[in-house]
Chains A and B, each alone.
Chain A
Amino acid sequence: MTTAIALALALALAGPGPAASPAQATGAQGQATAKGDTPVSGAAAPSNNALRDSAVDAQTRVLAAGLRCPVCQGQSIQDSEAPLAGEMRELIREKLRQGDSPAEVRAYFVSKYGEWILLQPEAHGFTLAVYLLPVLGLLAGAVVVFLAARRWTRPVAAGAAEAEEPTVSVTEDRS
């Protein structure tokens, strides 16, 4: 029974796979794949294109998520539905397809809009403070907590001795 189910599943998976692939509609290589003549080489060229496209799409999403939409309030061009954001996403895709690296595409937008366009500013110049101040604040807080904890955990005897000192001085003043 189990074997029969497994066999049926295997047939179901193997059957429509190549036939349903986009390669089938694109020409001779796709047809060869559908017939099962040369499944590996037949699928290779279209798959490479598909892989390249999906890689470009993935890079586009990453780049678009890091760029500020110029006509929105605090939204990336990936998240925005503004027409300008859509055109910017398409421009990123085109530049990547033309062979530009993600760094070059980013540099293009910075050259047009300045570093304002970057949702995560570069860590140099005055914007370095954005990255350094939280760390410095944390360090300062840690020092304060450390000093306070040391005082709180100081032996009671030392505290009592300190408390007695003003009494002595008051007595001296009266005399």
Chain B
Amino acid sequence: MNWKRAAIGMAGAGAIIALFAFGMKQDPRDIGASPLKGRTAPDFALKVMDGPDSVRLADLRGKVVVLNFYASWCLECRDEHAVLQEAAAAYVPKGVQFFGVLYNDNPENGRSYLQEMGGQAYPTLLDPRTRTAIDYGVYGVPETFFISPDGHVASKKVGPITPAEIDTAIRQLMAQVQTGSVPR
């Protein structure tokens, strides 16, 4: 037995195993982690779908903002619609601003979808050229962004959000508002 050769072989195999082990420990969902987290949320001025007004993010400083990108053709958006409705009913009276952003869709389809889903407790904004979606690094829908009162992206959820996730994200931001320690 050539121990030197065996040691080299084992070192090589060990390095490859370590590399695979490192890869296996990575969470594939983190690959889509937003680099915007902790940074200033991209400003936007978007028209409200059913109304004459536009909404500018810069005008919402001092408030927790929940921005949900959705589309009428998105099946998972249907799953989370009720969750967002309930959360909006609970948190809008406490000053949290909820907005839907219609992604890669036309307003007619958006209206039909909302009618089918039993309405929406918060306004939908139109992003006809998906520039705001690109600005927010949206991969697909649904995606939900939580923006802190000082205008930073606190967190992002890719895929349908659960009641626990939405509660945790909003409560953390509201607690930070109360204690005055908003993350940057």
Binding site for B on A (CB under 8 A): 70-71, 83-84, 87-88, 90-91, 110-114, 116, 129, 140
Contact = CB atoms under 8 A, between A and B. Distances in A.
Contacts of A91: 131, 134
By secondary structure, the A interface counts as helix
A111 B35 contact: yes
Nearest to A88: B134
A4 to B, nearest CB: 57
Given A70-B140, A71-B139, A129-B19, A112 B104 contact: no
Interface string B130-159: 110111111110000000000000000000
Contacts, number: 40
B95 interface: no
B130 A114 contact: no
A82 to B, nearest CB: 9
- Across the A-B interface, give the 9 residue pairs with the lowest CB-CB distance, nearest first: A112-B137, A114-B35, A70-B139, A113-B137, A87-B130, A71-B140, A83-B104, A87-B129, A116-B31
A84 B130 contact: yes
A88 B140 CA distance: 14
Contacts of B35: 110-114
Given A113-B35, A114-B35, A83 B136 contact: no
B139 A112 contact: no
A172 B129 CA distance: 89
Contacts of B32: 116
A112 B131 contact: no
Nearest to A83: B104
Given A71-B139, A129-B19, A112 B31 contact: no
B31 A70 contact: no
B118 interface: no
A47 B33 CA distance: 45
B137 to A, nearest CB: 4
